[in-house]
Amino acid sequence: MIFKAKDIAQLIGGRVVGNENAEVTTFSKIEEATEKSLCFFANEKYAPYLEKTKASVILVTHEFNYSVPLTTTLIHCTNPYEATAKLLEYYQTKISQTGIEPQSFIHESACLGSQVYIASFAYLSENVKLGDGSKIFPHVFIGKNVTIGKNTILYSGVKIYEDCVIGDDCILHSGVVIGSDGFGFAPSANGSYTKIPQIGNVILEDKIEIGANTVVDRATMGSTLIHTGTKLDNLVQIAHNVVIGKNTVIAAQTGVSGSTKIGNQVMIGGQAGLAGHIQIGDKARINGQSGVSKSLEEGAVVMGSPAWDYTKMLRSQVLIKRLPELFERVMKLEKK
């Protein structure tokens, strides 16, 4: 597809400096830009690439004051990074598929919205509801009574178990499993474990993105619930009856144990582990590889295992480095 600088500026509310009819056909990183490509400049460390770039159009801030080749057109905007994301989304929408491919299975009771895409080898079970503009890629399985909202994308290999609910504008990447049984087993007197039936479901609200091979378990009773705007990275485990607030982000290889409640706008680093039945306050920050065994207040910042106050942990690390020196000083004082 071909876009002109003036059209791009109109889409993002920007201002063109240079040739408003400059054409772009692709996106690129500034250090790899080629003719007819569009890139953005939002980090000072990439400034050396500006003078020799071959990009036809660059998105820059209103305060931008670097030199660029005469052949390069600039579009000044408030936030080049966000503007690029908006353009990528627009581009993806323009080139997206619609229609139902052969060799897909759609139960006669399923209800499909308009402008949907269902690829070959996808399986839609009884009473599935699929919203307008949603896209189902190959080898996706959607169980009985599942509801999926508008403009949601399920990439190849996603599995949605029965009775789960997926909202509007969600993206689930390959290998995601929604609604598998929670880890519920009752110990018996003879030392064995009896499985506790998991009869709840999973509810994902709107604008949620879940990375590849992440699993969200169904509730024992009620719902495992993830609120609007939350983003989960690859290889994240969300256990049964967990509740995650709005606009929370969780990085790869994190595990959240059962019945834990996570607030709004929480940030959790990679490989963190959260114990069950605790509460994490709004806007808390949990650094990577932290082990959180107790509830955290709103705005708390922690690290370590067991996790504790971030600032105190950094001070302690400084002191630990000085332990050999301090030990020698103590020994000398004892001798005296």
What pLDDT was estimated at residue 95? Answer: 62
Is residue 328 in a domain?
A: no
Residue 117 and residue 203 in one domain? yes
Active site residue 240: yes
- Residues belonging to the chain: 336
Q: Which of 62, 107, 173, 240 is catalytic?
A: 240
Q: Mean pLDDT over residues 209-214, rounded? A: 98
Residue 259 and residue 235 in one domain? yes
Quote the domain boundaries for residue 228: 99-312
pLDDT band at 216 (very low <50, low <70, confident <90, very high): very high
Is residue 122 in a domain?
A: yes
Is residue 49 in a domain?
A: yes
Residue 34 and residue 160 in one domain? no
Is residue 32 in a domain?
A: yes
Structure tokens at 22: 């400059």
d(CA 209, CA 85): 14
d(CA 304, CA 307): 4
- In three-state secondary structure terms, 190 is coil
pLDDT band at 322 (very low <50, low <70, confident <90, very high): confident
**Which of 61, 95, 129 is where one domain is finished?**
95
Tally of domains in the chain: 2
pLDDT in tens, 7-28: 999 999 999 999 999 999 999 9
Mean of all residue pLDDT scores within the chain: 94
Examine the pLDDT at 306 and tell me if it is beyond 90: no
Q: Mean pLDDT over residues 146-156, rounded? A: 97
What pLDDT was estimated at residue 1? Answer: 74
- Alpha-carbon torsion, ordered 319, 325, 329, 331, to 10 deg: 110
**Which of 53, 71, 95 is where one domain is finished?**
95
Examine the pLDDT at 319 and tell me if it is beyond 70: yes
What pLDDT was estimated at residue 282? Answer: 98
What pLDDT was estimated at residue 217? Answer: 98
Q: Mean pLDDT over residues 45-73, rounded? A: 93
Is residue 332 in a domain?
A: no
Q: Which of 231, 215, 208, 84 is nearest to 152 (CA)?
A: 208
What pLDDT was estimated at residue 305? Answer: 85
- Alpha-carbon torsion, ordered 224, 229, 235, 237, to 10 deg: -20
Residue 50 and residue 70 in one domain? yes
Residue 137 and residue 190 in one domain? yes
Examine the pLDDT at 147 and tell me if it is beyond 80: yes
Residue 91 and residue 103 in one domain? no
d(CA 174, CA 321): 44
Residue 196 and residue 287 in one domain? yes
- In three-state secondary structure terms, 46 is helix
- Give me the percent of the chain exceeding a pLDDT of 90: 85
Q: What is the CATH number of the domain that holds 114?
A: 2.160.10.10
Is residue 232 in a domain?
A: yes
pTM of the model: 0.78
- Under 8 Å between Cβ of 217 and 177: no
Q: Mean pLDDT over residues 327-334, rounded? A: 89
Residue 53 and residue 157 in one domain? no
Residue 46 and residue 181 in one domain? no
- In three-state secondary structure terms, 250 is strand
What pLDDT was estimated at residue 94? Answer: 65
